[in-house]
Amino acid sequence: MRFFAGKARAGRIYASGGVARDARQAGEARLWHDSLTGAAGRSVARYARWARGARRRYDATRRVIAVTLALALVAPNVAASPGAEADAHVAAFIQVPVRELMVGIADVADLSRRFLQLGYHLDHVRSGAGEVPRLLLANLPGDMPEIKLVEVRKAMFIQAVLPLILRANEQIAADRQRLRMLVARPSIWSDADSVWVAQLAFRYSVDQFDLAELTRRVDVIPISLAIAQAAEESGWGTSRFAIEGNAVFGQWTYDPEKGLVPNSREEGRSHLVRSYDGLLGSVSGYMLNLNTHDAYNAFRNRRQAMRTDIGALDATALASTLIYYSEGRRDYTKRIRDIIETNDLTAFDDARLSREMRGLN
């Protein structure tokens, strides 16, 4: 259950402002020095142009900071709800215009009743005949471990996490679509477009001017891969971390206020398993880590190559790149591939969410 948490990015946007300011000051100093010394190949006109460009970049960065601070001041006034942590991550980006429902679950009987009310059956989804309802669970039922039939427990777990995975991917896909549209026409960006790209780059730990790398990172995770890793890390929804902390991907933290101490933690180690206000936070955090952390660079490279070469994503092949997700290394990736194949999870890779929430009382 070893997971590499995403890099801390606090203050990055402020650093970019400092760089621009330092660059402007450095350019003006060099301009003044060369005007006096007549250094070879360093014309006054060239440095004047350079300094003006640095000044423009500095002013643009200040505008981004102002907007970011404004958003930060507004965000705390939004009413909190289960999964609000994940919603806050995407609040500044393009939103998918839909109606959906996030609910807390009392027990397995409650969850089964809701699935039946919605006519939500995995066989229909596997065959492509049915959509996945926008039922976003805030938590898993605490009596999941009491389901004796393994196949029933697996099916209920997949039904529970599938809408969450699709919803998180839906947001990423919307961001990716808008980003690619902007990359195709960089010369006519509005100020709002520039701010949006800067915020997206900040979230994905990329320089805002490196659009190629940003596009490589802003991409979806195969549904079957996400289900398999959630199943492995949470024991098909029966682990203490999944039930008490809404953590289905085993992400680590070192903040004692944000995690649960593993019972089997070795002496001298200080990590905890990251807990969340809702399941959507766990799913979104997992996807962000795969899309940003250096440990998963091979994953992103293979995904990009698949986009270029075959135009589709192969979950089992991508699973082989995640050797640093667990201390089990190759044994771990083999288990993930086996879970995908044994449970025919690739049948869900083309699953789709319904446009609206309906049929639930």
Over the stretch 219-238, which tens digit does the pLDDT of each residue have? 999 999 999 999 999 999 99
Q: How far apart are CA 305 and CA 65, in angstroms?
A: 35
DSSP 8-state class, residue 272:
E
134 pLDDT exceeds 50?
Answer: yes
With both helix axes pointing from N to C terminus, report the angle between 223-234 and 150-183 in degrees, rounded to the nearest 10: 130
Mean pLDDT within 109-123: 95
Q: How confident is the model at residue 47, as a pLDDT?
A: 41
Q: For a pLDDT cut of 70, what percent of the chain falls above it?
A: 70
| Closest CA relative to residue 152, chosen from 240, 236, 239, 242 | 236
Contacts of 90 (CB under 8 A, 6+ apart): 171, 175, 284
Q: Which amino acid is at 46?
A: R
Question: What separation in angstroms does the CA of 239 have from each of 90, 146, 188?
Answer: 28, 12, 51
Confidence of residue 361 (pLDDT cuts 50, 70, 90): low
Question: What separation in angstroms does the CA of 180 have from each of 183, 215, 249, 287, 289?
Answer: 5, 7, 29, 19, 21
Q: How far apart are CA 106 and CA 323, in angstroms?
A: 36
Q: Which amino acid is at 65?
A: I
Q: How confident is the model at residue 82, as a pLDDT?
A: 30
Q: How confident is the model at residue 261, as a pLDDT?
A: 72
- Going from N- to C-terminal start, the domains of the chain cover 12-77, 84-348
Confidence of residue 280 (pLDDT cuts 50, 70, 90): very high
Average pLDDT over the chain, rounded to whole? 78
Q: How far apart are CA 4 and CA 252, in angstroms?
A: 7
Q: Count Cβ atoms below 10 Å from residue 86 Cβ, excluding itself.
A: 26
CATH topology of domain 84-348: Lysozyme (1.10.530)
